[in-house]
A and B are shown apart, each in its own frame.
Chain A
Amino acid sequence: MSGLASAAHPGLAAADPTLASFDHQPWWLVTIKVLFVFLFLMLMTLFAIWAERRVIGRMQQRPGPNRAGPFGLLQSLLDGIKLPLKEDIVPTHVDKLLFWLAPAISVIPAFVSFAIIPFGPEVSIFGVQTPLQLADLPVAVLLVLAMSSMAVYGIVLAGWASGSPYPLLGGLRASAQVISYEIAMGLSFVAVFLYSGSLSTTAIVAKQSGANTEFHLFGAILHWPSWYAVLLFPSFVIYVITMVGETNRLPFDLPEGEGELVGGFHTEYSSLKFALFYLGEYINMTTVAGLASTLFLGGWRAPWPISVWPDANTGWYPLLWFLTKVLLVLFFFVWLRGTLPRIRYDQLMRFGWKVLIPVSLVWILVIATIRVWRTHGGSPAVYTVAGLLVVALLTLLFMGDAAAQRRAQAAEEAAAQAGLPVRPGGTAGEPGPAGGGPGFPVPPMDLPHYHGVGVDVSPSEITPEESGESRATTKEVTGA
Chain B
Amino acid sequence: MLSLYVPILVLAGLAAVFAIFSLGLGAFTGPKRWNRAKLEAYECGIEPTQQPGSSRFPVKYYLTAMLFILFDIEIVFLYPWAVAYDNLGAFGLVEMVLFIVTVLVAYAYVWRRGGLEWD
Q: Give A residues with C-beta under 8 Å from B.
A: 19, 22-25, 30-31, 33-35, 37-38, 83-93, 95, 100, 103-104, 107-108, 110-112, 115-116, 134-138, 142-143, 160, 162-166, 168-169, 172, 175-176, 179-180, 182-183, 186-187, 189-191, 193-194, 197-199, 262, 267-268, 271-273, 275-276, 345-346, 349-350, 353-354, 357-358, 361, 364-365, 368-369, 371-372, 375-376, 378-379, 382, 386, 389-390, 393, 396-397, 400-401, 404, 424-425, 449, 454-455, 457, 474-478
Q: Could you say which residues of chain B place their CB within 8 Å of the CB of A93?
A: 40-41, 50-51
Are the C-beta atoms of A85 and B30 separated by less than 8 Å?
Answer: yes
Are the C-beta atoms of B118 and A350 separated by less than 8 Å?
Answer: yes
Q: Give B residues with C-beta under 8 Å from A.
A: 1, 3-8, 10-12, 14-16, 18-20, 22-23, 25-27, 29-44, 47-53, 55, 57-58, 60-61, 64-65, 67-68, 71-72, 75, 78-79, 82-83, 85-86, 89-90, 92-94, 96-97, 100-101, 103-105, 107-108, 111-112, 114, 116-119
Q: Could you say which residues of chain A place their CB within 8 Å of the CB of B51?
A: 93, 163-165, 168
Are the C-beta atoms of A112 and B104 separated by less than 8 Å?
Answer: no
Are the C-beta atoms of B8 and A400 separated by less than 8 Å?
Answer: no
Are the C-beta atoms of B55 and A390 separated by less than 8 Å?
Answer: no
Are the C-beta atoms of B5 and A137 separated by less than 8 Å?
Answer: yes
Residue of A nearest to B49 (CB): A165
Residue of A nearest to B93 (CB): A372
Q: Nearest Cβ distance between residue B36 and chain A, in whole angstroms? A: 6
Are the C-beta atoms of A273 and B26 separated by less than 8 Å?
Answer: yes
Q: Nearest Cβ distance between residue A113 and chain B, in whole angstroms? A: 9
Q: Could you say which residues of chain A place their CB within 8 Å of the CB of B75?
A: 183, 186-187, 190
**CA of A124 to CA of B85 in the docked complex: distance in angstroms?**
36
Q: Nearest Cβ distance between residue B80 and chain A, in whole angstroms? A: 9
Q: Nearest Cβ distance between residue B15 and chain A, in whole angstroms? A: 4
With A136-B4, A183-B75, A190-B75 already in contact, the answer to whether A104 and B97 are too (CB < 8 A) is no
Q: Is the interface of A mostly helix, strand, loop or mixed?
A: helix
Q: Could you say which residues of chain B place their CB within 8 Å of the CB of A273?
A: 23, 26
Q: Could you say which residues of chain A place their CB within 8 Å of the CB of B68?
A: 179-180, 182-183
Residue of B nearest to A83 (CB): B26
Q: Could you say which residues of chain A place their CB within 8 Å of the CB of B111?
A: 354, 397, 400-401
User: What are 25 pairs between A and B in contact, CB < 8 Å?
Assistant: A30-B7, A86-B31, A87-B30, A93-B41, A93-B50, A100-B23, A103-B23, A108-B16, A112-B8, A136-B4, A172-B57, A190-B78, A262-B44, A267-B42, A272-B26, A273-B26, A275-B22, A358-B107, A364-B78, A364-B100, A375-B86, A396-B108, A397-B104, A474-B34, A477-B33
Residue of A nearest to B87 (CB): A197
Q: Could you say which residues of chain B place their CB within 8 Å of the CB of A375?
A: 86, 89
Are the C-beta atoms of B119 and A346 separated by less than 8 Å?
Answer: yes
Choose among A135, A169, A194, A345 the residue with the greatest number of B CB atoms under 10 Å from its CB. Answer: A135
**CA of A95 to CA of B52 in the docked complex: distance in angstroms?**
10
With A37-B11, A180-B68, A193-B79 already in contact, the answer to whether A389 and B101 are too (CB < 8 A) is yes
**CA of A165 to CA of B52 in the docked complex: distance in angstroms?**
11
